[in-house]
Structure 1
Amino acid sequence: MQSLQKQKGLTFISWLVILIVAGFLVYVGIKITPVYIDHYAVKAALSSVENDPLTARKSKREIRNMIAKRLDVNNIRHVNRDHINIKRSGKNTIISIAYEERRPIVYNISLLMTFEETAELTAN
């Protein structure tokens, strides 16, 4: 009974382990937050092209240039023209942007994040 009353709380080692784990999670969060902010800009660019009523009538090259310009304005450099895929079937145009982003964490450990966004346009 007496030994249970003496154990009141965490030891220094326990606090140190908790702080190390929390610090590592904060570090990973700091590394991946810009990637998700950039992905939001990619989604916004694709959405703005999708909401433009004249986009469906344009050629594949013009659509790809529209998206590339919007990405360039937002300083998104890791998504290039090769990541933009445009398919046409009848009056429908499907635009998809698929890319991967790799962020180094520690030594030879990296995080790989994959993103894919799709928009469908219908010509009137």
Structure 2
Amino acid sequence: MTGIGWLLVLFVVGFFVMLLLRIGPIYLENYSIKGVLESLETEPLITRKSKVEIKGMIMKRMRINGVYDFDPKSLDIVKSPGLVTVSIDYSVQKSMFANIDVIVHFSEKVELVSN
């Protein structure tokens, strides 16, 4: 392989490494958010709590798990008799380089049934 071929290979590998370094933390943060939602399923008497209490509980768990950039407006809590539906719908935009950005959209949902 020639020198130009090696430069091309290094450029492609470097691009994907940079992409992984930019997008990897976004997915790790989403994994933490999913864990927070799933932890609500083990919470006793969660369906008896108010929306404000549930939202406060979620935000507290987010801070404990190191999720600081989460917008509480992305959180939607719907209560009905014996059922609480918590859904999170948000997007994250990160700059790759120059004027090229990466936008990743996530949507998570959990339904909590009274015990």
Q: TM-score, normalised to structure 2's length?
A: 0.93
Deviation at residue 41 of structure 1 after TM alignment: 0.8
TM-score, scaled relative to structure 1: 0.87
Count matched residues: 115
Q: Is 2:18 aligned against 1:27? A: yes
Q: Aligned-pair RMSD on alpha carbons?
A: 1.1
Q: How does 1:56-95 map to 2 (within 5 A)?
A: 56-95=47-86
Contact 1:68/1:80 (CA < 8 Å) preserved in 2?
no
The answer for the alignment partner of 1:37 in structure 2 is 28
The gaps in structure 1 that reach 5 residues or longer are 1-9
Point out the more displaced range, 22-31 or 70-79: 70-79
Which amino acid in structure 2 is aligned with residue 20 of structure 1?
F
Q: Larger Rg: 1 or 2?
A: 1
Match of residue 47 from structure 1: 38
Structure of greater relative contact order (alpha carbons < 8 Å, 6+ residues apart)? 2
Q: CA deviation at 1:27?
A: 0.7
Gaps of at least 5 residues in structure 2 are none
Does the aligned pair in 1 maintain the 2:41–2:112 contact within 8 Å? yes
Q: Read off the aligned partner of 1:60 and give its amino acid letter.
A: K
Q: Which amino acid letter does the alignment assign opposite residue 119 of structure 1? A: V
Q: Is the 8 A contact 1:56 1:123 kept in 2?
A: yes
| Percent identity between the two aligned chains | 37
Runs of 4+ in structure 1 off by over 4 angstroms are none
Counterpart CA distance in 2 for 1:95 and 1:50 is: 11
